[in-house]
Chain A
Amino acid sequence: MRPKKPSLIGLVKTLPKNMFSGLVVSLIALPLGLGLAMASEAPPIAGVITAIVGGVIVSFLGGSFVTISGPGNGLVGVVLVAITTLGLTATYAAIICSGVLLIILGFLRMGKLADYFPSSAIQGMLAAIGLIILGKQFHIMLGNKITKNSGIDYLLEIPNTIISVFHFEDKGLIYAALAGVLSLGIMVFYSKIRNKYLQLIPAPMWIVLFSIGFSYYYELILKAPNPISLDYMIPAIPDIGTIITEVPAPDFKMIGTFSFWSSVIALTLIASIESLLSIKAVDKLDLEKRRSNVNKDIKALGLATVASGFLGGLNVVTVIARSSVNVNNGGSNRSSNFFHSLFLVVFILLFSTELTRIPLSALMAILVYTGYKLASPVIVRKIFTIGKEQLIIFFSTLLVTLKVGLISGISAGLIATFIIHVVVTKSFGLFVKNILKPNVLMYKEEDGSYFISVKHFCSFLNFNTLKTSLEAIPENNDVIIDFSLCGFVDHSSMENIDDYQELFHKKGGNIEVIGLDVLGAESKHPFALRRMLPVQKMMPDNKTKRQKNLGIISDKFELSYEYEKKYNNSFLEGFVYFQTKKIEYISNELKEKNSKYQSFDVVFSEGEFIAKEVVRTTMLYIKAPNEIPAFTLDKEGILERFYALAGYEDIDFERHEDFSNRFYLRGEDPDNIKRFFTDDLVRFFESNPYYHVESNKKGVLVYNKERVASIKEVKALIDFGVRLSSVINKS
């Protein structure tokens, strides 16, 4: 298998698509950059500078493909502490030093650093950061600026702030609070509305557009000053000339102090962890399933951080939400990162004065939502289902981080995890004696598959050895991981292995884990045991009305009906629609007796973090009688014409003008598709209600709206499917 050379032609071909996704990403990066910088008490423009510098440097030197770099939310807490203790100019110096440290980490190949932190501790740390952001910005969102000492104090003050909103006398404050609440509403409800025109602009940008529109409404139509209190507007943003001429000089005077270096280390630690976690998550989203060169990326991020520090920006990290938006909008290589910063430059050049029309409270609503997502109860519930002991780790990290600081917090998490492991196994020696041993044996068996045997124990302390072995296996191979010689496997390892299983599966390989049942039987291994049992319970009598009606339909149409959740849905693989989406499960399955077609509700998520949307849709799957070409058929609208400009081609038929005008058909093999679309099939589509139809060679996927269908709609869908299936079978 010869690798595809990244040719210049290929790059130029993908440029329009990447420019488009860069534009969408810049729409979310602009408000986020301003907000994150302000939340860290740095000048708002610092966030945008970070994104611009990061985008330019990392797009040229980075080792990942579809990631977006910029100011990270994880760093808000650390930068905030640094600025309050060191002052702004010394913080720039600390940022530069942390950039240098990151470069060194990259050269030492420490890209694996994040593996040494137990996942529950990282979750706890991120949740604490989320609470710090939420706690502080919540008050500003509601027009009540206060100053407190620690993150916990801010959180405790939240009820008072809510009460005080109802007693505001100052109209300016009331308007500020209203703007905040409305913006929060936009953030929360945006993901619930599925409309492709609305979704084209990310929620944070809608907030910006509304705010600016509101301000102009007052200025131009009511001829009145903006009613929102001036204290709650974004402070003046310097124009591009001032930014270039008045670069703040970093102050290295404090370089000998302890507080300086503790800030540097905290910045480095959080920047690397956030970047590594994001890179890992984004790699999973990549359509081409490329493997990022983590160490190269860390070096690039470090260099970008140094540059950003000198230019008055913050730490450059890889950011998950923006990266996922990038993937969802067709970003396919690093050029989208470059375009994202290019568009940011354009925004600052053209609209820097307009940005001061955004109320601070509206901007902070975005951050409150971000903070909430980091510390959402869903995370706590997820950790609880893994095991109670994980909650101890989670909360000890969380509380120590809030009360003392990030470094103490993550250390507390490490210690708590280790103590719990010792208690669970009732053996201290198991870990101490074996920690340095090369406990992983990997060899290729005669049939070409790989066998990995793990001895002693496998936890966050030594997962790296297993990881190195797994990394060295091409992902299209079959792998067996044998834990039968292993006395203990922790939750972090199981979670990581699960990630690898997904990765191998996507690339055509397979990882099978054996030997864990032995552990379970000894009942020493609650982590492993609980990880292995999927939570799959549903009360038999707990059917909804819709489910009962579906049962009735199934009798009428002579279909079999299963309402249980199904997690293994390999038949949905290969559909373009699901390429950027993560399928969680399907349920309410109505199946034809010979499995010729089936309708089901599918739950999937799109995007990550604050850009994450969970969607439930009813779909129909028809099994193809023999191999058919892969294609996508859509209604042709304004968006599709726009996509055509960005390089997506529409296949038209000369003989069927009506069809060609109304439908947007694309696929990789136009000739074959044209042959497949016989006159009968074209006429069928022309004369029937519109459905989105897609083929993955093995089958056809049909759906209409991105929501759960009503009983009537399910009937129509099945009817459409039955008739479509007969037309396909004929042709």
Chain B
Amino acid sequence: MNTTVFKTIGIGVTFSPNLEANINEAARLALFFGSKLILIHVGKSSEDKLTAFSSLLSSFKDQGLVFEVTFNSGDPVEVILSTTEQKKIDLLIIGALKKEKFLKYYVGSIARKITRKANCSILLLINPSKDRVCCNHIVVNGLKDPKTEETLATAFLVGNKLGASKITVVEEISDDEVSVKVDDDKSLRRSTIIKERLRVREEMRVKAILKTIPNKLTKDIKIKSQPIFGKRGYSIGHYAQVARADLLVMNAPRKMNFWDRLFPHDIEHILTELPTDVLIVQ
């Protein structure tokens, strides 16, 4: 298991009102993780731009930040994705707007396209800020999925680096797994028993994964396990919102097709309604 988590962090930058906040967040994270920061700008290279970026990062440079700015013109999605490959970026930071327009949902905004296509981990920030906002509570999915082990490990690493005090592992259990439909008292009793059994089974599974995580990562963090019966992807976002989590860590989705976007599931739900900052672990 690597302890540096992310060696190279990338962020797409344009001259928008959010620029300073975005760069600050990215730089801060790069310092926390001890990784190299790459600013990806879509557009022609120029001295002015470079000095503008450098001046924004000057205070972090004094703290030992290593960074690089790349310039490439073309389609933003293409540029960002190809740079990610070239520079071997393993965490891409995307500043997201909290509410995206209804129509864009079908077309897909730039950020969303990148999220779907990227091969690295992605951090979606809902409100980047100039000053540091601490990260206390991390919610992470505990789905029954081969990727989950890696995701949980990453969540604990990130939690340690950011000084989180609490990590909640959410096991989403689909309603279909409860084979009994509630009709009357008798079926309610049966479904309650089945749910209890599923709950125990899921908690055991998560506990087994948690055992594989090094003790030094888990010892300072309060761990909570929360099984939820509900729709996958949607309920974890809802839970993160209700539990006022500061960061939601999720598995990267399997490849999607058109229908997945039309009938959103899993991660798509989160993308339409970002509950908080979201880290998608590849």
A positions within 8 Å CB-CB of B: 3, 63, 109, 290-296, 429, 433, 437-438, 440-444, 446, 451, 453, 455, 471-472, 474, 482, 485
| Complex alpha-carbon distance, A293 and B186, angstroms | 10
**Closest 6 interchain pairs by CB?**
A293-B184, A441-B238, A438-B231, A293-B183, A443-B228, A453-B242
Q: A472 near B238 (CB under 8 angstroms)?
A: no
What number of residue pairs across chains A and B have CB atoms under 8 A from each other? 67
Query: Which of B73-81, B108-116, B120-128, B188-196 lies at the binding interface?
Result: B188-196
List 4 other contacts, CB 8 Å, given A437-B269, A474-B188: A291-B188, A296-B184, A438-B235, A472-B191
State whether A438 and B102 are in contact (beta carbons under 8 Å apart), knowing that A3-B186, A291-B184 are contacts in the complex.
no
Supply 14 A–B pairs (Cβ within 8 Å), ascending by A. A3-B185, A63-B183, A292-B184, A294-B183, A296-B183, A296-B184, A437-B234, A441-B228, A443-B228, A443-B230, A444-B199, A471-B188, A474-B192, A485-B241
| Complex alpha-carbon distance, A472 and B178, angstroms | 11
Residues B171-217 near A (CB distance < 8 A) = 181-189, 191-192, 195, 199
| Complex: chain A residue closest to B185, CB-CB | A291
Which residues on the B side are within 8 Å of A453 (C-beta)?
Answer: 238, 241-242
How many residues of chain B have a CB within 8 Å of chain A? 28
Which residues on the A side are within 8 Å of B229 (C-beta)?
Answer: 442-443, 472
Q: A472 near B182 (CB under 8 angstroms)?
A: yes
| Complex alpha-carbon distance, A50 and B188, angstroms | 33
Which residues on the B side are within 8 Å of A3 (C-beta)?
Answer: 185-186, 189
Judge if B226 is at the interface, Cβ distance under 8 Å. yes
Judge if B227 is at the interface, Cβ distance under 8 Å. yes
Which residues on the B side are within 8 Å of A451 (C-beta)?
Answer: 242
Which residues on the A side are within 8 Å of B226 (C-beta)?
Answer: 443
B184, B192, B199, B231 — most chain A CB neighbours (10 Å): B184
Q: A438 near B183 (CB under 8 angstroms)?
A: no
State whether A441 and B235 are in contact (beta carbons under 8 Å apart), knowing that A109-B181, A485-B242 are contacts in the complex.
yes
Q: B102 near A471 (CB under 8 angstroms)?
A: no
Which residues on the B side are within 8 Å of A290 (C-beta)?
Answer: 184-185
Which residues on the B side are within 8 Å of A63 (C-beta)?
Answer: 183-184
| Complex alpha-carbon distance, A451 and B235, angstroms | 13
Q: A442 near B189 (CB under 8 angstroms)?
A: no
| Complex: chain B residue closest to A434, CB-CB | B273
| Complex alpha-carbon distance, A446 and B199, angstroms | 12
Judge if B32 is at the interface, Cβ distance under 8 Å. no
Q: B230 near A438 (CB under 8 angstroms)?
A: yes
Q: A443 near B184 (CB under 8 angstroms)?
A: no
| Complex: chain B residue closest to A63, CB-CB | B184
Judge if B71 is at the interface, Cβ distance under 8 Å. no
Q: A441 near B102 (CB under 8 angstroms)?
A: no
Q: Smallest CB–CB gap between A426 and chain B, Å?
A: 16
Q: Smallest CB–CB gap between B166 and chain A, Å?
A: 13
Q: Smallest CB–CB gap between B200 and chain A, Å?
A: 12
Q: A438 near B185 (CB under 8 angstroms)?
A: no
| Complex alpha-carbon distance, A451 and B228, angstroms | 11
Q: A438 near B234 (CB under 8 angstroms)?
A: yes
B positions within 8 Å CB-CB of A: 102, 181-189, 191-192, 195, 199, 224, 226-231, 234-235, 238-239, 241-242, 269
Q: Smallest CB–CB gap between A292 and chain B, Å?
A: 7
Q: A443 near B227 (CB under 8 angstroms)?
A: yes
| Complex alpha-carbon distance, A691 and B35, angstroms | 86
Q: Smallest CB–CB gap between B223 and chain A, Å?
A: 12
Which residues on the B side are within 8 Å of A472 (C-beta)?
Answer: 182, 188, 191-192, 195, 229
State whether A482 and B242 are in contact (beta carbons under 8 Å apart), knowing that A433-B102, A437-B234 are contacts in the complex.
yes
State whether A455 and B185 are in contact (beta carbons under 8 Å apart), knowing that A438-B230, A442-B229 are contacts in the complex.
no
State whether A455 and B189 are in contact (beta carbons under 8 Å apart), knowing that A295-B183, A438-B231, A471-B182 are contacts in the complex.
no
Q: Smallest CB–CB gap between B100 and chain A, Å?
A: 11
Q: B238 near A455 (CB under 8 angstroms)?
A: yes
Which residues on the A side are within 8 Å of B184 (C-beta)?
Answer: 63, 290-293, 296
Which residues on the A side are within 8 Å of B227 (C-beta)?
Answer: 443-444
| Complex alpha-carbon distance, A438 and B265, angstroms | 11
B185, B186, B228, B235 — most chain A CB neighbours (10 Å): B185
Which residues on the B side are within 8 Å of A471 (C-beta)?
Answer: 182, 188
| Complex alpha-carbon distance, A290 and B189, angstroms | 12
| Complex: chain B residue closest to A454, CB-CB | B238
Which residues on the B side are within 8 Å of A292 (C-beta)?
Answer: 184
| Complex: chain A residue closest to B178, CB-CB | A472
Q: B239 near A443 (CB under 8 angstroms)?
A: yes
| Complex: chain A residue closest to B263, CB-CB | A436
| Complex alpha-carbon distance, A440 and B235, angstroms | 8
| Complex alpha-carbon distance, A626 and B235, angstroms | 48
| Complex alpha-carbon distance, A65 and B29, angstroms | 63
| Complex alpha-carbon distance, A199 and B191, angstroms | 44
A294, A471, A485 — most chain B CB neighbours (10 Å): A471
Q: Smallest CB–CB gap between A474 and chain B, Å?
A: 6
A293, A296, A433, A441 — most chain B CB neighbours (10 Å): A441
Q: Smallest CB–CB gap between A294 and chain B, Å?
A: 7
Which residues on the B side are within 8 Å of A109 (C-beta)?
Answer: 181
Q: A441 near B242 (CB under 8 angstroms)?
A: yes
Which residues on the A side are within 8 Å of B188 (C-beta)?
Answer: 291, 471-472, 474
Q: Smallest CB–CB gap between A22 and chain B, Å?
A: 23
| Complex alpha-carbon distance, A290 and B235, angstroms | 31
Which residues on the A side are within 8 Å of B269 (C-beta)?
Answer: 437
Which residues on the B side are within 8 Å of A438 (C-beta)?
Answer: 230-231, 234-235
| Complex alpha-carbon distance, A482 and B243, angstroms | 12
Which residues on the A side are within 8 Å of B192 (C-beta)?
Answer: 472, 474
| Complex alpha-carbon distance, A471 and B180, angstroms | 13
Q: Smallest CB–CB gap between B44 and chain A, Å?
A: 39
Residue of A429, A437, A474 touching B189 (CB-CB under 8 A): A474
State whether A429 and B102 are in contact (beta carbons under 8 Å apart), knowing that A438-B231, A441-B238, A453-B238 are contacts in the complex.
yes
Which residues on the B side are within 8 Å of A443 (C-beta)?
Answer: 226-230, 239
Which residues on the B side are within 8 Å of A446 (C-beta)?
Answer: 224
State whether A442 and B102 are in contact (beta carbons under 8 Å apart), knowing that A471-B182, A474-B189, A474-B192 are contacts in the complex.
no
| Complex alpha-carbon distance, A455 and B230, angstroms | 14
| Complex alpha-carbon distance, A63 and B241, angstroms | 40
| Complex: chain B residue closest to A2, CB-CB | B189
| Complex alpha-carbon distance, A471 and B189, angstroms | 11
| Complex alpha-carbon distance, A291 and B186, angstroms | 9
Which residues on the A side are within 8 Å of B191 (C-beta)?
Answer: 472
| Complex alpha-carbon distance, A443 and B172, angstroms | 10
Which residues on the B side are within 8 Å of A444 (C-beta)?
Answer: 199, 227
| Complex: chain B residue closest to A482, CB-CB | B242
| Complex alpha-carbon distance, A451 and B239, angstroms | 10
Which residues on the A side are within 8 Å of B195 (C-beta)?
Answer: 472
| Complex: chain B residue closest to A477, CB-CB | B192
Q: Smallest CB–CB gap between B67 and chain A, Å?
A: 39
Which residues on the A side are within 8 Å of B238 (C-beta)?
Answer: 441, 453, 455, 485
Which residues on the B side are within 8 Å of A455 (C-beta)?
Answer: 238, 241
| Complex: chain A residue closest to B235, CB-CB | A441
Q: Smallest CB–CB gap between B248 and chain A, Å?
A: 14
| Complex: chain B residue closest to A295, CB-CB | B183
Which residues on the A side are within 8 Å of B102 (C-beta)?
Answer: 429, 433
| Complex alpha-carbon distance, A482 and B241, angstroms | 12
| Complex: chain B residue closest to A290, CB-CB | B185
| Complex alpha-carbon distance, A444 and B269, angstroms | 22
Which residues on the B side are within 8 Å of A295 (C-beta)?
Answer: 183
Which residues on the A side are within 8 Å of B241 (C-beta)?
Answer: 453, 455, 485
| Complex alpha-carbon distance, A191 and B243, angstroms | 53
Q: Smallest CB–CB gap between B143 and chain A, Å?
A: 16
A290, A443, A474 — most chain B CB neighbours (10 Å): A443
Q: Smallest CB–CB gap between A446 and chain B, Å?
A: 8
| Complex alpha-carbon distance, A3 and B186, angstroms | 8
A3, A296, A472 — most chain B CB neighbours (10 Å): A472
| Complex: chain A residue closest to B192, CB-CB | A474
Which residues on the B side are within 8 Å of A296 (C-beta)?
Answer: 183-184
| Complex: chain B residue closest to A441, CB-CB | B238
Q: A442 near B230 (CB under 8 angstroms)?
A: yes
Which residues on the B side are within 8 Å of A293 (C-beta)?
Answer: 183-184, 187
